Structure 1
Amino acid sequence: MDRRDFIQRAAMGAVALSLPQLPSAFKQTGMGVVVHSYGSRWNSKVESKNYPGFANAIDLIDHCQQIGAGGVQVVVGNWTTDFAQKVRDKREKSGLYLEGSISVPKNADDIARFEQDVKNAKEAGAQILRTVCSSGRRYETYHSAEAFQDVKTKALASLQLAEPVLRKHKVKLALENHKDWRSKEMAAMLKQLNSEWVGVTLDFGNSIALLEDPMDVVQTLVPYVLSTHVKDMGVEEYANGFLLSEVPLGTGILDLPKMIALCKQHNPAVTFNLEMITRDPLEIPCLTDDYWATFGDVSGKELAQTLRMVRQHKAKTALPRISQLSAEDRLAAEEQNIRSCLAYSKDKLALN
């Protein structure tokens, strides 16, 4: 039985008894919050009475409970056992679910560090750990086909090192489509790995930057879905391609109800985590030569389809910019966006 078959059978409950028992908090349907939604407030150096910074996972859990979130996805790294137990206690009292965000082992010498992070995350109550297997956005970081092929080779090797640790501790790893892998590349890697312990954190909007239709991405990766990054996206043309921006849920171009329904269909236990990053729009320079250095198999048709989508769904107003705001106003905009998204998820997406 390959991984795709396993996920589909698990979704129907056929192998429910073979899966690790999830804590009851994990079965909630409320929208969680990804730590990266708080890019300004996480480890903030800005003094603010209205929006004090979050120093650690406990601070984030406290705040997310206050604003009505269902859980958190937060970075796990260099935790002590004592801190992991404190996070567990806070999570249990709050009733929120917890997911970790973790880095995979770079080589055999890094396995011990990875295993300790997995153990700490599990001690705190996490059964799913999100990860990435690249060092940046594909079109900005890698400048040749050979360079990106090397990344793909190393990524598979890292996942192969991680898999026995995950299997040992019965914790699942969810690889995000992080503006690096196109969906078919990621699916091929997961199929090659063929492990029930490694799946996908399905980001609803990232892969637009790689000239992929967002619904095609969901349909390709949803058989492997363990976790999600829920977001809505706005687009706008610029001289070298198009701009891409997270926008409050319901104000962008994504068919969120359909995406969420597909995820639930394939994995009823899937978690929905809000990643509403409040920032200036990202430039996707798809009309420049350097952008194409790693995309030898992407067709002109896909470029044309993406640019047509951008033109057809041009935002009625300019995409939001925050770099000109004061630090306090950036914090306020971030908080407002997150609260707006959580309200939408309850009112319109039935995630409450």
Structure 2
Amino acid sequence: MDIGLSTYAFIWRGSQRMASPMTLVDMMDETVALGGGVFQICDYPAIAAYSDTELDNLADHAAQRNLTLELGTRGIGPTKLARYLDIAARLDVRVLRSMFNDAETRPSPDQAEAWLRAFIPRLERQDVTLALETYEQVPVDTLVATVAALDSPYVGICLDPGNCVAALEMPTSVIERTAPYVKNLHIKDFKFTRADGWVGFRLLGCPLGEGLLDLDDMLARVAPGERHISCIVEHWLDWQDNTGTTAAVEAAWTRHSMDILRSLQS
């Protein structure tokens, strides 16, 4: 089972709220230090403007550390996918995570299927798998139906069951329905807490194993080790009042998640 971190595990430490934000190289080095073999550069818009030299330097840094890179964006419009496949080629990426919608495009299921079908030949040529993430904006049945209709080993699902709770789709059901199509796995735990004044609830992240994610069931159904699916740690960490505390908690959650995944590897 290949394990690693996403830029979403560094959402605060890599942000401009920090006096010295972590760079992608810093994140890659921490991934290796914590026993990870995969680093996913996910929803990191700055990378779209990187020069070929900057991308080559990232790829070299990863190769020197025996670290596999994955890439993530939002949207499946032709221009967006073409650009990120160009980036994937420079970084020697084999998994590209995306979503149906972005700020500019919200395709219908038919349009999404047509766009994706047109890109399958390029995915095949580059040997890149496109993993479409489960999230509240697109019903899981729609996502599964689209991937099933395309019927390509190069288009599948990035499973993150916590994202679908906002659409009242239960995590266990999302896992069961998507498991045969999963190509990438996001590992983050989550739970509901009462809002201030006990009026309503908030859905927030929590340390792995302390929330609603049934990790054992998800791993049993998806079988990432047997299917060579990477398990990528992310967080939904709320801001913790100040930069020092927030950075410390984020780092602790990351170590905790990686400790659990390393124990499952063995």
For Structure 1 versus Structure 2, the TM-score category normalised by the shorter chain is 0.7 to 0.9
Q: CA deviation at 1:101?
A: 0.8
CA distance in 1: counterparts of 2:13 and 2:75, whole angstroms: 26
> For 1:351 and 1:197, how far apart are their aligned partners in 2?
26
- Structure 1 residues 241 and 192: CA distance shift in structure 2, 3 A: farther
Which structure 1 residue ranges, 5 or more long, are not aligned? 1-28, 137-146, 280-321
Residue identity in the other structure for 1:88? A
Output the CA distance in 1 between the equivalents of 2:237 and 2:88. 27
Q: TM-score, normalised by structure 1?
A: 0.66
Instruction: Pick closer, same or farther for the CA change 1:266–1:218 going to 2, 3 Å.
Output: farther
Counterpart of 1:54, as a letter, is M
Gaps of 5+ in 2: none
Aligned counterpart for 2:36 among listed residues 69, 73, 81: 69
Residue equivalent to 1:86:
57
| Distance in 2 of aligned mates of 1:92 and 1:166 | 22
In the TM superposition, what are the counterparts of 1:22-41 in structure 2 within 5 Å? 29-41=1-13
Of the three residues 42, 46, 58, the one matched with 2:25 is 58
- Give the match's secondary structure for 1:199: strand
* Amino-acid identity (%): 23
The AA in structure 2 aligned to 1:244 is: L
> Which residue of structure 1 lines up, in the alignment, with residue 96 of structure 2?
129
Q: 2:209 aligned with 1:250, yes or no?
A: yes
Partner of residue 334, structure 1: 250
Residue by residue over 1:31-87, the C-alpha shift from the partner in whole angstroms, topping out at 9 and shown as x without a partner, is 21111121112243521xxxx4223x3232122212332321104523332222222
Q: Partner amino acid for 1:128?
A: V
Q: Among 199, 202, 211, which residue is 2:156 paired with? A: 199
Deviations 1:300-330 (A, max 9, x none): xxxxxxxxxxxxxxxxxxxxxx35x112221
For structure 1, which segment, 236-245 or 216-225, has the greater mean C-alpha deviation from structure 2 after superposition? 236-245
Tell me by how many angstroms 1:182 deviates. 2.3
Q: Distance in 1 between matches of 2:254 and 2:6?
A: 10
Inter-partner Cα distance in structure 2 for 1:166 and 1:58: 27
Name the amino acid aligned to 2:91.
A
Tell me the number of residue pairs that the alignment of Structure 1 and Structure 2 aligns: 259
2:29 partner SS = helix
Question: Structure 1 residue 91: deviation in Å?
Answer: 1.3
For residues 110-121 of structure 1, what are the structure 2 equivalents within 5 Å? 110=79, 114-121=81-88
1:223-267 superposed Cα distances (whole Å, 9 cap, x missing partner): 111111111221235577542112111111222112112111796
Deviation at 1:151, TM superposition (A): 4.6
In 2 relative to 1, CA 225–278 (structure 1 residues): closer, same or farther, beyond 3 Å? same
TM-score w.r.t. the length of structure 2 is 0.86
Verify the 8 A CA contact 1:226 1:267 in the aligned structure 2: no
Whether 1:343 aligns to 2:259 is yes
Which residue among 147, 151, 160 is the counterpart of 2:117? 160
Instruction: Report whether the alignment pairs 1:184 with 2:141.
Output: yes
Q: Report the aligned-residue RMSD.
A: 2.6
SS in 1 for 2:223: helix
Report the Cα distance in structure 2 between the residues aligned to 1:46 and 1:335, rounded to whole angstroms: 14
**Could you tell me how far 1:196 is from its partner in structure 2?**
2.1
| Rounded Cα–Cα distance in structure 2 between residues aligned with 1:225 and 1:187 | 10
Counterpart for residue 129 of structure 2: 172
Q: Find out whether 1:230 has 2:187 as its counterpart.
A: yes
Compared with structure 1, are the counterparts of its residues 329 and 214 closer, same or farther at alpha carbon in structure 2 (3 Å cutoff)?
same
Does residue 260 of the first structure (1) align with residue 219 of the second (2)? yes
Q: 1:266 to 1:351 in 2, by over 3 A?
A: closer
